[in-house]
A and B are shown apart, each in its own frame.
Chain A
């Protein structure tokens, strides 16, 4: 069966520090991968998606970047965090057979 792993679960970082959040998927190949952000009490906003290795599409201009170095690995990064980068970040993968998205457990990022 397919599983998605996302870590860390919680992260507290100072302003100006770098960021690296990692997401990996098991049990499937060539999935579409997504990074979403959820502000407190709000819906989810799509940040990046990838349809293959090295292929990244950005939905909103921001201080973040994404990379897909391997088929089932999706990384969210920043060189210098801003206070506004705080939020709950969710990785998701898409089952292309039935067009369903499944989410990881999320990372709560607090930038202080």
Chain B
């Protein structure tokens, strides 16, 4: 079974700073996907970024980028030029590439951006 671990329950940074959220996972699969989801106070789950395990290039989406280290099973999220609207819970998630695509989530990191 796959597991996802987020070791930082809470983080806090000042607006405009860069912050990195950590995530590690455990799997015996070779083909899979990794995700970061954002859950603001509205509780809507919003897809931030996705990484395919077979791609060496790290995914980027505007101010959001990942550092994917497949051998180390590490998948961190970097938020550059952080904004007040980035305040949210962030969840790392794993999904196998075959079969029904069931997401396995970490426990989340509560990120607060201070003005």
Contact = CB atoms under 8 A, between A and B. Distances in A.
Secondary structure at the B interface, as helix, strand, loop or mixed, is loop
Contacts of A46: 102-104
Interface stretch (A22-30, A65-73, A102-110): A102-110
B55 interface: no
Given A44-B105, A49-B102, A51-B100, A90 B95 contact: no
Interface residues on B, range: 20 to 34
A34 interface: yes
A88 interface: yes
A59 B102 contact: yes
Contact of B47 (A102, A105, A106): A102
A2 to B, nearest CB: 13
B107 A101 contact: no
B106 A43 contact: yes
B95 A99 contact: yes
Contact of A100 (B43, B47, B104, B105): B47
Interface of A: 32, 34, 36, 41-46, 49, 51, 57, 59, 88, 90, 92, 94, 99-103, 105-106, 108
A43 B91 contact: yes
B3 to A, nearest CB: 11
B4 to A, nearest CB: 8
Contact of B103 (A51, A57, A101, A108): A101
A43 B108 contact: yes
B50 A100 contact: yes
Contact of A101 (B44, B97, B101): B101
